[in-house]
A and B are shown apart, each in its own frame.
Chain A
Amino acid sequence: EAGVTQFPSHSVIEKGQTVTLRCDPISGHDNLYWYRRVMGKEIKFLLHFVKESKQDESGMPNNRFLAERTGGTYSTLKVQPAELEDSGVYFCASSQLSGGRTEAFFGQGTRLTVV
């Protein structure tokens, strides 16, 4: 079974440009999460989708970040325009939707560098 897949693995862009990160969750997982780790700091929650709906986007840093999950399958996270402080590793995770605490599976992350 394929795991959580993220594209690209690395991205280097100039300040002011736009970048779109993609996450393909495990098939059948309705929960999809985005997290970000800025160098040397904690991994921080960004947002949570249940199917195509945003359940919680309290961690999104500002309106330059836009996440979508059309059709409830893969998700994209767009940063427009990118700033230097957006550099970091962006992780995606997915889990099954159930009444219990099912495990979240993480992708390898996308390392974004804004120069």
Chain B
Amino acid sequence: GNSVTQMEGPVTLSEEAFLTINCTYTATGYPSLFWYVQYPGEGLQLLLKATKADDKGSNKGFEATYRKETTSFHLEKGSVQVSDSAVYFCALTDNYGGSQGNLIFGKGTKLSVKP
């Protein structure tokens, strides 16, 4: 079945450091890929997404490229800020069917950025 594997945390970085959170997936067909973020005390928010191979999702300085050949969707940011401290979830959904839903999530990676 479909699954998502992301790097275990927690990840602790200094401000302005480069961030990579690895995410690989297993899926039949052609899934859509997502990164969600959960800031302290808040709900899950969609950070970025990509719906087909070679698409790059980007938002708030974060980027991730849908790599079908390596079944990966790694999250990157060139210079993190303290405000980026949160838990990041990689997820996919099957593209067959109706509306987006039935997301399959990774375990989440907690990021802490120190000033």
The distance from the CB of B9 to the nearest CB of chain A, in whole angstroms, is: 11
B: which residues have CB within 8 A of A?
A: 4, 32, 36, 41-46, 49, 51, 89, 91, 93, 95, 98-108
- Evaluate contact between B105 and A101: CB separation under 8 angstroms: no
Cα of A40 to Cα of B110 in the assembled complex, Å:
11
Q: Does A48 contact B (CB under 8 A)?
A: yes
Chain A: interface residue count, which band? Answer: 20 to 34
Cα of A48 to Cα of B103 in the assembled complex, Å:
11
- Evaluate contact between B43 and A101: CB separation under 8 angstroms: no
- Evaluate contact between A99 and B98: CB separation under 8 angstroms: yes
By a CB distance below 8 angstroms, the chain B residues around A96 are 99
- Evaluate contact between A48 and B102: CB separation under 8 angstroms: yes
By a CB distance below 8 angstroms, the chain A residues around B45 are 106
- Evaluate contact between A106 and B99: CB separation under 8 angstroms: no
Cα of A106 to Cα of B17 in the assembled complex, Å:
29
